[in-house]
Amino acid sequence: MAPREKTTGTDRTALADELRSAVRGEVAFDATARALTTMDASNYRRVPLGVVAPRDADDIAAALAVCRAYGVPVVPRGGGTSIAGQATGTGVVLDLTRHLRSVVELDAGSRTAVVQPGVVLDDLRAAAAPHGLTFGPDPSTHSRCTIGGMIGNNSCGSHSVAWGTTADNVHALTVTRYGGDTLRLERGAEGPAGLHELVAAHLALLRTGFPELPRRISGYALDALLPERGPDPARAFCGSEGTLGVVTEATLRLVEAPAARALAVLGYADESAAAEAAPGLLPHHPLTVEGMAADLVREPAGLPRGAAWLFAETGGATPAEARAHAERIVRAASPDAVDAAVVTDPAGQRALWRIREDAAGTATRTPDGNEAWPGWEDCAVPPARLGPYLRDFRALLTEHALRGTPYGHFGDGCIHVRIDFDLLSTAGVARFRRFSEELASLVVAHGGSLSGEHGDGQARAELLPRMYGSELVALFSRFKDLWDPDGGMNPGILARPARLDENLRFDVLPREPVDVTFGYPHDGGDFSAAVRRCVGVAKCRTREAAGPAVMCPSFRATGEEAHSTRGRARLLHEMLAGPAGGVITDGWRSTEVRDALDLCLSCKGCRSDCPVGVDMATYKAEFLHHHYRHRMRPAAHYALGWLPLWLRLASPFAGALNAAARVRPLAALAKRLAGIAPERGIPVLARETYSRWLNRRWGKGTFILSNDEVAAIWPDTFTEHLSPEVGRAAVKVVEAATGRRALTPGRGLCCGLTYVSTGQLDKARKVMRRTLDRLTGTHDSPVIVLEPSCAATLRGDLPELLPDDPRAAELAAAVHTLAEYLEKYAPDWQPPHLDRPVTGQTHCHQHAVLGDEPDRRLRARAGLTGELTGGCCGLAGNFGFERGHWEVSAACAEDALLPGVREAAPGTEILADGFSCRTQLEQLGGVRARHLAEVLAEGLGPDRP
């Protein structure tokens, strides 16, 4: 029976009002809330009526009771990383991540933990770690997936060869059904009325109808209800994909975490050789046997030779024991492997695991850049059949003229793959269906399961009769009806499923390219394709920055999906869908998109940290350009967006303006008129600009010098007017290292950064063209740019905004950071040995666009030890100065930068190459940070007279 979903405006209003009266948590039926939950990480899109974020189990029960009274379906949602469409729905979405995040109890003695459904896996593992314990299942989304979602999908992860699936690690569940009643599920419990009779009447079918393999996730696990297996209704509930009820509390089994780990990485000639070898490693009891091919590796740093690799992790009581275990595996694999490496360094292991975990994103693009999609993301076959299955799978791809690169849990026979389906055309969707039907038959022929980890959802449930037969699938529907007689829990999933080619998220997108300003060269110039890059793996929802990662500072500061990279991409998707999508219908004028992008710091962290390379800073600039076209802009856009102009005009009056800024009423008035946050201090203007100092140093006039005699240092706005001491220091360092005379490459130059970041793209292009005209010499001569954000603009935004001007690409290729320039043009120079520890900030644009390896090497040669923090300083150019951004700006600084500075030992040098980073440290931390050039220049001794 299906619920009688009511969708009229009056009914939605009444439903929302009644939900607000019944629950203490948030109820949101606005366009933003709905747009954020139309999709998960799958190919599918379903538009909900609204979203409820319950505060506790009572709220869940109350919300379910109201929805049942209105005949409105409900879908529970965790991290929204499901790949088969089961975390989307047309009724009310229960967001279990906002409040239900507690580890209620952890008993180290019994090795159990009681948790709420919204607990993120990494949070549970962090709570268990001090006791030497962990939760065994660990999907690659461990930093943002929730326990409730893992139970719903019966998630597994890379360690399942040692510790099994989520169902293997669940002791008991408390579940609330549609309508509000609650059941306690554990071994021997009854479950809903009629369940015992259903099982008793079909014992033979339940004993013979399920294939035996480690990763059989498809369908309902009714065999767990057999008398000889408990029965165990909690295990049967796992993998039910939100179709039976809502988990409000779970008691989980924990496992002992090895004190030490090592990683054996084995290289093979191809993926088939790796697949054939994987089962042979299992008798040696590794913790993992993961496989992937070279097509999915962006940078093979640390990987041994080969075109495909197996990652076999081992554990031990000591590092030596773990290493010995890994070396035994290497010896066992040596007849087939072409190369191998054993990695014991934790940082090295993390780097290699990051390559494997990022495959979920890198697989979304074929080697030539075409889009690839899930749908057959995680079939599983018996491990011994993996090699033959992959050969047949490759043949089927070729037959359908499709491409995809398999990777995944080779030790369990579970394969992930994204395929370059054409899901935009009628013919392409028809081929998607034919391929899906044939692949389902192929998987079954190899004794496999249509799903080996992520569940069936809408992607595969329609094909379950091919795996189980019609009689057992009919039993699935009867099982669903016992739990949910009104049919209100996630209809269209598992039982009586929707067709696999319905509700595709691409259906509502425009078929013709949208008129945009940036070039989007990696997406064929198509803004829709750029937005489609976000497939929903939600790495941007990670609440703690890992290592040098930046993405996504505003999400970490707010915890709100709307302020994550994925959330903004979802809103842009709905904006492009327009009236056809039925959620955001006013296009570029959308206030929902504008408000979500308002807290985007344009840090560009997603450009490098997002596995699929979403560049939200560019999308934001594009949106602002269209949103405010022919309209008044916020005051800050004129004050801060036109900053290069204002600073040039203010320069002759620097002394008087600095004095005025120290008068509080005048400063307050100026900030109010300029749209600047009242909490912000106004930076001090330089009395002598960098260019004026350089002219005074060398004398005015034109120098006729060859490129071999000159080092060109870009006079960016910040160095020129706000921190000329950085420019003076860079001149000193460059001249000492190269013997070249340091000059500027022209007068009145500007990269256009401030105009880009405020979305004034017509003005940005005008400024950029004028700059190209004013450059002296050739545009491909090396140029040192000291401000990382300006360097990133010249290297990235310039050629994208002026794709028709070859000078733009030439200048972009000529841009060097100071460290890059010294490494290339003064490779034998020995910097002063400073012998001191450092902390501070790697500029987010340097991390995301430029890279900081040359800087690391330069610091090491100068005896500057230690690591700079990741994340974002939170000031981020105009962002932290704008009114309304103070709290988020400060929270971003508190994420990594300020704690790192406070914890630094006395005498530690604080480095920050970005003017914003230095300003944030001074205004929020009360400390003076310096550009690397300043520190090196100081080490060179006194300046010449």
- Rounded to an integer, what is the distance from CA 21 to the centroid of its chain? 36
Per-residue pLDDT, averaged over 471-483, amounts to 97
Per-residue pLDDT, averaged over 212-216, amounts to 91
pLDDT in tens, 326-336: 999 999 998 88
Confidence of residue 776 (pLDDT cuts 50, 70, 90): confident
Q: What is the pLDDT of residue 701?
A: 46
Percent of the chain with pLDDT over 90: 87
Helix (H) or strand (E) holding 293: strand 290-293
Bridge partners (DSSP) listed for residue 548? none
Q: How crowded is the C-beta side of 471, counted as CA atoms within 13 Å?
A: 9
Per-residue pLDDT, averaged over 209-220, amounts to 94
Is pLDDT above 90 for 871? no
pLDDT in tens, 416-450: 999 999 999 999 999 999 999 999 999 999 999 99
Per-residue pLDDT, averaged over 835-847, amounts to 95
Q: What is the pLDDT of residue 945?
A: 43
Confidence of residue 705 (pLDDT cuts 50, 70, 90): very low
Is pLDDT above 60 for 115? yes
Per-residue pLDDT, averaged over 235-254, amounts to 98
pLDDT in tens, 531-549: 999 999 999 999 876 667 8
- Rounded Cα distance, 485 and 245, in Å: 11
Q: What is the pLDDT of residue 240?
A: 98
Residue 39: closest CA among 535, 496, 511, 453: 535
Confidence of residue 702 (pLDDT cuts 50, 70, 90): very low
In contact, 248 and 176? CB cutoff 8 Å: yes
- Rounded Cα distance, 795 and 793, in Å: 5
Confidence of residue 1 (pLDDT cuts 50, 70, 90): very low
Confidence of residue 6 (pLDDT cuts 50, 70, 90): very low
Phi, psi (rounded to 5 degrees) for 236: -65, -30
- Helix pair 690-698, 724-738: axis angle to 10 deg: 40
Q: What is the pLDDT of residue 888?
A: 97
- Rounded Cα distance, 832 and 858, in Å: 10
Please give the single-letter amino acid code of residue 862. A
pLDDT in tens, 60-70: 999 999 999 99
Confidence of residue 282 (pLDDT cuts 50, 70, 90): very high
Question: Residue 470 contacts by C-beta under 8 Å, 6 or more apart in sequence?
Answer: none
Q: What is the pLDDT of residue 3?
A: 53
Per-residue pLDDT, averaged over 642-670, amounts to 97
In contact, 215 and 380? CB cutoff 8 Å: yes
- Rounded Cα distance, 683 and 301, in Å: 42
Helix (H) or strand (E) holding 123: helix 121-128
Per-residue pLDDT, averaged over 748-777, amounts to 96
Is pLDDT above 50 for 481? yes
- Rounded Cα distance, 360 and 506, in Å: 20
pLDDT in tens, 625-644: 999 999 999 999 999 999 99
- Strand, helix or coil for residue 392: helix
CB atoms within 10 A of CB 212: 8
Is pLDDT above 50 for 486? yes
Per-residue pLDDT, averaged over 690-708, amounts to 72
Largest CA distance in the chain: 99
Q: What is the mean pLDDT of the chain?
A: 94
DSSP string, 593-632: HHHHHHT-----HHHHHSTT---HHHHHHHHHHHHTTTSP
Q: Which residue has the tokens 């326990």?
A: 147
Is pLDDT above 70 for 7? no
- Strand, helix or coil for residue 465: helix
pTM for the structure as a whole: 0.94
Per-residue pLDDT, averaged over 303-318, amounts to 94
Per-residue pLDDT, averaged over 115-120, amounts to 98
C-alpha distances (whole Å) from 398 to each of 371, 387, 808, 855 are 17, 17, 41, 46
